[in-house]
Chains A and B, each alone.
Chain A
Amino acid sequence: MTGSPITQHTPKSPKEGDENPSGEKEEDATPTADQQRQMEQAFSQMKRKMTIQEMGDKIKHKIMVLSGKGGVGKSTVATGLALSLANQGNTVGLLDIDITGPNVPKMLGLGGHRLNVEGGRIFPAVGQRGVKVISMAFLLESDDTPVVWRGPIKLGAIQQFIGDVEWGELDYLVIDFPPGSSDEPLTVAQSLPNIDGMVIVTTPQEVALLDSRKSVGFANSLKVPVIGIVENMSGYTIHGTAQANQTISVTGPTNEIIEITANEAGDWSVTLDIFKQGGGQTTAEEMDVPFLGRLPFDPGVIRGGDDGVHRIVAQPEGESAIAFASIVEAIKKQIKDNKDSQSSGGLEII
């Protein structure tokens, strides 16, 4: 059953044999083991439901980060957004909902960490810049242990991650998803109240753009606002030196010749559009959703992910950190605009 956590029982009608030898009807006051289990389940589900409601109030903003296609850098972007928000002084949580491929802890130098559970509550790990993190990776014996679960078991884990985690007061909760529009984002969108919206990550090539259009459609189906599209791996900038004002020829990704003139100091740079460029913005315009910005292809981000020190932490003034900060500003503005344009305060049930 999808919805009701409460099992309702209809009393059985009395039948022959229900009475004891004295003719008095026996009172069956002691619940059976099965009834006891059902009552405990109902109680824990009700408690979780109430906690989720409370969580909706204690966490000011909830942002879902997803993409239609895998490998576009969702976890890197989600981690970068969380760190960038934390850099601005916000209290931030990062929920890694990628049950079968949890990578966030590795990127934040939290590999091998185990979660602290007290009184039935799960306490998140604390990573760089004070970002609180919950991930399936914390529950695995080793990084190589696969999670071989069918959908319903994943859903149970996700509901625990939402309802049983002691996040405390947060300014932002960033939620990182596996690619696609299936169980994981659907469960979160159904369970978590007052989601601010979805950030859709794409790369500029056509196949990723096609899938990001599906993500926009998915958000619309669930009536979750699209905060906007982020174009990741958008151009790789190479730098060099030459004589002052000298013109340099560089062969581009599609064998085109690009000519650049060095400056007075002899420095030159050129951005190569490895996966094309501008597709994210075009898609945003086509789908009538905001375009939040571009993140450059930065090998330092990959190294940082492997070393557990995100580029934003290693180089807070670097090109990637600046790009993330700009995207964070765009997200904050969009969340505010969406709130301002919401005409009503939600559904009234009488």
Chain B
Amino acid sequence: MSENLNLVKLERMNSEMELTWSDGSINTIAYPTLRFWCPCAKCGPRRDEEELSNQFQVEVDSLPTEKPIVNPVGGYALHFEWSDGCSSGIFRFERLHDIALGENPDGGKPYTHGAW
């Protein structure tokens, strides 16, 4: 994602959210996908190995479908609050962009404690 690309609009639908970027592009992220890619210290390691990762995917898929509360973090990231499951992660705009494009936002690397 280009450094100058910014998130300008986020619209929460029933099962997914629609993201509009400063270059005019629009894409969506389903809530279970967003929750699977939570960057927090608890969720990150759960994607490191295939078996764990599959279990984690099943877990987030079984969570109730709900619209999250969205809090901006500075001018560079978002925080999502859910009534159940993990609400800890801070999602940088670059991460959301990668997730929306179906890319691995961790670049295929295992979780590193302390990296933000």
Chain A residues packing against B (C-beta within 8 Å): 1-4, 6, 8, 10, 186, 189-192, 195, 220-224, 343-344, 346-350
A190→B10 contact, CB < 8 A: no
Can you give 9 A-B contacts (C-beta < 8 A)? A3-B71, A6-B81, A190-B74, A190-B90, A223-B6, A347-B9, A347-B10, A348-B9, A349-B12
Q: Is B29 an interface residue (CB 8 A)?
A: no
Supposing A1-B87, A344-B22 touch, asked if A222 and B8 sit within 8 A by C-beta, the answer is no
The residue that A223 contacts in the complex, of B75, B79, B89, with Cβ under 8 A, is: B75
Q: Is B84 an interface residue (CB 8 A)?
A: yes
Given the complex, which residues of A lie within 8 Å of B70, measured CB to CB? 349
Given the complex, which residues of B lie within 8 Å of A2, measured CB to CB? 40, 79, 88-90
B74→A350 contact, CB < 8 A: no
The total of Cβ contacts below 8 Å across the A-B interface reads 71
List the A residue with the shortest CB-CB distance to B41: A2
A189 to B79, CA, bound (A): 14
B87→A344 contact, CB < 8 A: no
The residue that B8 contacts in the complex, of A1, A8, A221, A348, with Cβ under 8 A, is: A348
Given the complex, which residues of A lie within 8 Å of B40, measured CB to CB? 2
A10 to B74, CA, bound (A): 30
Supposing A189-B74, A223-B93 touch, asked if A3 and B79 sit within 8 A by C-beta, the answer is yes
Given the complex, which residues of B lie within 8 Å of A190, measured CB to CB? 73-74, 77, 90
Given the complex, which residues of B lie within 8 Å of A220, measured CB to CB? 3
Which of B3, B40, B76, B92 has the largest count of A CB atoms less than 10 A from its CB? B76
Number of interface residues of B (CB under 8 A): 29
B22→A221 contact, CB < 8 A: no
A350→B87 contact, CB < 8 A: no
Q: A2-B40, A3-B87, A4-B87 are in contact. List 8 more A-B contacts (CB 8 A).
A: A3-B73, A195-B74, A220-B3, A223-B6, A344-B6, A347-B10, A348-B9, A350-B12
Q: Is B110 an interface residue (CB 8 A)?
A: no
B88→A3 contact, CB < 8 A: yes
Supposing A3-B71, A350-B9 touch, asked if A8 and B76 sit within 8 A by C-beta, the answer is no
A221→B76 contact, CB < 8 A: yes
Given the complex, which residues of A lie within 8 Å of B22, measured CB to CB? 343-344
Given the complex, which residues of A lie within 8 Å of B9, measured CB to CB? 347-350
Kindly provide the distance from the CB of A12 to the nearest chain B CB, expressed in whole angstroms.
Answer: 14
Given the complex, which residues of A lie within 8 Å of B8, measured CB to CB? 344, 347-348
A190 to B72, CA, bound (A): 9
A8→B83 contact, CB < 8 A: yes
> B1-40, CB under 8 A of A: which get 1 and which 0?
0010011111110000000001000000000000000001
List the B residue with the shortest CB-CB distance to A348: B9
A4→B90 contact, CB < 8 A: no
Supposing A222-B75, A222-B76 touch, asked if A3 and B6 sit within 8 A by C-beta, the answer is no
Given the complex, which residues of A lie within 8 Å of B93, measured CB to CB? 223
Given the complex, which residues of A lie within 8 Å of B83, measured CB to CB? 8, 10
